[in-house]
Amino acid sequence: MPTDPAALHRDAIVIDATCPLLIQDKSRIALYRQGGVTALCPTVGAVEGAGPTFRSVAGWLAHIRRNDDLLLVRRAADIEEAKRTGRIGIIVHFQGTDPIEEELDLLDGYHAMGLRMVQLAYNVKNRVGDGCDERTDAGLSRFGIALIERLEALRIVVDCSHTGYRTTMDAIERATRPMVFSHSNPKTVKDSPRNIGDDQIRAVAATGGLIGMNGFPAFVAARAKPTVDDLIDHVDYTVQLVGDDHVGLGIDYYYGQHPYADPAEARRLYDRWVAAGHWNPAAYPPPPYHYPQGIETPDRLPHLAERLAARGYGDDSIRKILGGNWVRVFREVWGG
């Protein structure tokens, strides 16, 4: 007999693999705790250089040290320890490789500080390759090839979200361990430069990796206020394409979304990102951003298990999607 979805969610390991909501306010971790999250990946580095990024990582380490209910995750067993002890695991994640500048040796320093997942590009061209919203679609640079080799040597998860098609496929061809799209949806369900094609989904699944489902409304559905069932349409499609071992969560809750930013603040943030070239209005429409109804904010994530069960997913599949698949990938890349 199927487990009650609320009880299943409480018992499961739940991982949100992309959490830019925490960039401006670490106290919002409380929302994830209310949502039953076991481990999360704050965006600790992205489009800035080494100096600001080392300060950001150091700030997170100090925050974890000051809060007994948090645990820095360095290996897969730390996530299980977080679940057992009622703490929240913090997984250091970069959404881009600008923090590495031109010095691959910086990766050794970041890894020593806890870095465990690195996204190759953030929408536009960088030293590694092209982003998914760049005018061109070049592949990995020579520096990018060396970067992949160093990431794999350090056993850091390679993340292809926001990254251009050819750069992504080049990286996957060189993979010897599972690779991921931490927060990307299938383009067949919702056409967007930020979503990914079926061949990309199949290719990353073939490495043993997974695709984290993204709740940013413009990547979920054509309407401004999608529902949790719209997001599950992406889950369904991906599961049918590559199986339930290759789907996870990367909801991408964002500090500029409703209700965390008022309309004027959200617009200022949007205009700043567009002016800097990080966002293209063709992929990122103006705010407000209403995340899928039913899981609008992290504290409402338990509703996802309920809707997955209503859509016919069994206990084992729900556990995998909520976080079990992430644990498997992390164990294969990082070790136990």
* Domains along the chain with CATH numbers: 5-334 (3.20.20.140)
CA distance 191 to 193: 7
Distance, CA of 297 to CA of 56 (rounded, Å): 24
How far apart are alpha carbons 183 and 335 in whole angstroms? 23
pLDDT tens column, 217-263: 999 999 999 999 999 999 999 999 999 999 999 999 999 999 999 99
User: Position of tokens 């979503």?
Assistant: 195
CB 137 within 8 A of CB 164: yes
Asked if residue 266 lies in contact with residue 234, where contact means CB atoms within 8 angstroms, the answer is no
What average pLDDT does the chain have? Answer: 97
Confidence of residue 336 (pLDDT cuts 50, 70, 90): confident
Q: What is the pLDDT of residue 244?
A: 98
Mean pLDDT of 90-109: 97
pLDDT (mean) for 34-42: 98
Confidence of residue 3 (pLDDT cuts 50, 70, 90): confident
Structure tokens at 189: 């369900």
Predicted confidence at residue 66, as pLDDT, reads 98
Over range 280-293, report the average pLDDT.
96
Position 2 scores a pLDDT of 59
Per residue in 110-139, pLDDT (tens digit) is 999 999 999 999 999 999 999 999 999 999
What's the pTM value of the predicted model, to 2 decimals?
0.97
Amino acid 1: pLDDT:
43
pLDDT at 104: 97
pLDDT given at position 211: 98
Average pLDDT over residues 19-26: 97
Exposed/middle/buried for residue 335 (C-beta within 10 Å: 0-12, 13-18, 19+): exposed
